[in-house]
Structure 1
Amino acid sequence: MDTTSRTRPDDRRGRPTAAAFFDVEGTLLAAPDLAAATGPLGRLWHPPVLAALHGHAALGHLVVLVARAGATELAPITRDLAPDAVLCSRPEAPMIGQGKGYAARALLRECGILAARCYAYADEAADLPLLAEVGHPVVVGDDPVLLRHARRGNWRRLPAPSAERK
């Protein structure tokens, strides 16, 4: 799949048995659009989501960034975080909506990881297909559509980025 890129060598012993998918815009970063983000990345990280990413990495989970942005725009983020994989937009295939769910499913199949053992973190209704692909969805913020799903499915929640970080 050419929307996936590996960003670090697999130096773990054995294969990962779980994955954690992190929507970038508005979830991992407080900025809803990377093109409009200015200043150092450190100010833009959403601390609870960044902590979750580091926690999953420490557990040996496959860490995957999922973004509407393209690979060039994501380069500073991938350099800082060194995820295992990146699912991002290409000119002919934007990474939005159902595309995020399809890409996540394809990556899990390729890696032989059961979706029931996986996590996804996202902030808006358009990310519902990504959240629906995993056994442990986490809603970030207060999108009303996602909150309804979270209440029905007993999904975890994390707070939205604070206004002064945006």
Structure 2
Amino acid sequence: MDTTRRTRPDDRPRRPSAAAFFDVEGTLLAVPGLAGLSGPLGRLWHPPVLAALHAHAALGHLVVLVALAGVADLAPIVRQLAPDAVLCSRPGAPMVGQGKGYAARALLREHDIRARRCYAYADEAADLPLLAEVGHPVVVGEDPVLLRHARRGNWGRLPGPSRARGDAASAVGGASTPG
């Protein structure tokens, strides 16, 4: 697990009461991978998920990016979003599957945050361990495995990148709205 922290200019010592985890590839960004990305990220953001990230940040929640990519590939995203922490792959230790769940749990312990107050946003069955670690999981898109879990557990839902239309703020609603 690589946890890279970035300090925001307005940072003051604070103890967040909740955290929000955002899978990057295919969830926060409307692309499945970061290899070869260059230039502005503007059109690559998935508006409903980006709006949720900003809403969590405004509430003072710990904002955490979770990615298969490594630190170098995430640098442009980290520069733009200034998350509180990044959980990502490092040589010989990819951030995938159960590793995402373990990393999220460790970060919550480190910050003494109760999992039931936390959120996670993800788009594929491989992200189930991350979603299972929080009290408010949000399925992004139409993965059939995640949708089955969402129906059983009354999880939040957001449209996937291919279906995202209109105003980002209106797309964030219902069970997926932080609060």
TM-score, length of structure 2 as denominator length: 0.87
* Structure 2 unaligned blocks of 5 or more: 166-179
Q: Deviation digits for residues 110-137 of structure 1, max 9, x if unmatched?
A: 0000000000000000000000000000
Confirm or deny that 1:114 pairs with 2:114.
Answer: yes
In the alignment, the residues of structure 2 paired with residue 36 and residue 163 of structure 1 have an alpha-carbon distance, to the nearest angstrom, of 24
Residue type matched to 1:56 in 2?
H
| 1:3 counterpart = 2:37 | no
Counterpart residue type for residue 151 of structure 2: R
How far residue 3 of structure 1 moved from its aligned partner, in angstroms, is 1.1
What is the distance in 2 between the residues matched to 1:150 and 1:163? 18
Aligned residues: CA RMSD: 1.7
Q: Which residue of 2 aligns with 1:101?
A: 101
Partner SS, residue 120 of structure 2 = strand
Change (3 A) 1:157 1:163: closer
What SS does the aligned partner of 2:68 have?
Answer: strand
Aligned counterpart, 1:52:
52
Structure 1 CA distance, aligned partners of 2:154 and 2:120? 14
In 2, Cα distance between the equivalents of 1:130 and 1:8?
A: 24
Q: In the TM superposition, what is the alpha-carbon distance from 1:39 to its structure 2 partner?
A: 4.5
TM-score (structure 1 length as normaliser)? 0.94
SS of the residue corresponding to residue 152 of structure 2 reads helix
Measured in 1, the distance between the counterparts of 2:162 and 2:117 equals 30
User: Does structure 1 retain, via aligned residues, the 8 Å contact 2:48–2:164?
Assistant: no
Retained in 2: the 8 A contact 1:12–1:60? no
Partners of 1:137 and 1:164 in 2: CA distance: 19
User: Structure 1: which 5+ residue stretches go unaligned?
Assistant: none
Does the Cα contact within 8 Å between 1:31 and 1:37 map onto a contact in 2? no
- Tell me how far apart the structure 2 counterparts of residues 31 and 110 of structure 1 sit (CA, whole Å): 31
SS in 1 for 2:79: helix
Q: Distance in 2 between matches of 1:20 and 1:161?
A: 19
Q: CA deviation at 1:13?
A: 5.3
